[in-house]
Amino acid sequence: MTTTKPFKLKADQIVKLIPSIGFCYATDKITVEGEPVNYFYREEPDVESDSGRRFFSGTETQEYADDPTNTAIYEVNTVVNYDKTIIPYLDLPFGTELERVYGTYNFRIIKQD
């Protein structure tokens, strides 16, 4: 099945901002609706090419998050193009959860294993 989601950024607007570090999951709140990343975490990867990173706007309801059609797999660089403020936090270890400090470009760690 092919998707025709109306992405906020067109393919020719995606530029290389970081080296390839694998794929991640991000919700349509970010990639379609253009909301900033306000919460993300890094878990142990499912497969070798998985970076373990999962990105959310923070406005997703549980019902929205449970619907697999609202989430897709992207290269991490693609999500960085939607929100560059996550770049300084991408190297944090597995088991780290972060949330944006309201009204800033900064994130704070809310959990770290």
**Is 11 inside any structural domain?**
no
**Is 26 inside any structural domain?**
yes
Higher pLDDT, residue 3 or 54: 54
User: What total of structural domains would you count in the chain?
Assistant: 1
Domain span at 78: 20-112
pLDDT(1) > 70: no
CA atoms of 27 and 35, how far apart (whole Å): 10
**Is 75 inside any structural domain?**
yes
pTM listed for this prediction: 0.94
**Is 56 inside any structural domain?**
yes
**Is 4 inside any structural domain?**
no
Average pLDDT of span 28-37: 98
How do the residues of the chain divide into helix, strand and coil, expressed in percent and rounded to 5?
25, 30, 45
pLDDT(10) > 60: yes
**Is 88 inside any structural domain?**
yes
**Is 104 inside any structural domain?**
yes
